[in-house]
């Protein structure tokens, strides 16, 4: 499975925001549902906190899609 890089302009972002930005969730409600249903992993571990702070290098997977967080500041 390929991993695509998703660039942000800050040093960190919350998981729910990242899911929307990366196109892994349609909106905030969809992101919340995916997280609550156990469909989201961060670095291979299930994550249930929508507000989890992600940092560059984190790999987020949702329903077979993977995205890696990359910061423009790095």
Query: Containing domain of residue 35, as a range?
Result: 3-71
| CATH number for 42 | 3.10.290.10
Model pLDDT for residues 5-45, shown as the tens digit of each residue: 999 998 899 999 999 999 999 999 999 999 999 999 999 99
Residue 1 scores a pLDDT above 90: no
What is the total count of domains within the chain? 1
Model pLDDT for residues 41-68, shown as the tens digit of each residue: 999 999 999 999 999 999 999 999 999 9
42: β partners: 45, 60
- Dist. CA 69–CA 59, nearest whole Å: 7
Taking all residues of the chain, what is their mean pLDDT, rounded to a whole number? 94
Q: Give the long-range contacts of residues 41-50, CB within 8 A, separation 24 or more.
A: 42/15, 47/15, 49/15, 50/14, 50/15, 50/16
């Amino acid at each position: 499975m390929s991993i695509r890089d998703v660039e942000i302009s800050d040093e960190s972002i919350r998981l729910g925001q990242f899911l929307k930005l990366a196109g892994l969730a349609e909106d905030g409600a969809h992101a919340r549902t995916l997280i609550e249903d156990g469909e989201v992993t961060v670095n291979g571990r299930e994550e249930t906190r929508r507000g989890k702070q992600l940092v560059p290098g984190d790999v987020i997977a949702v329903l077979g899609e993977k995205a890696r967080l990359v910061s423009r500041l790095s």
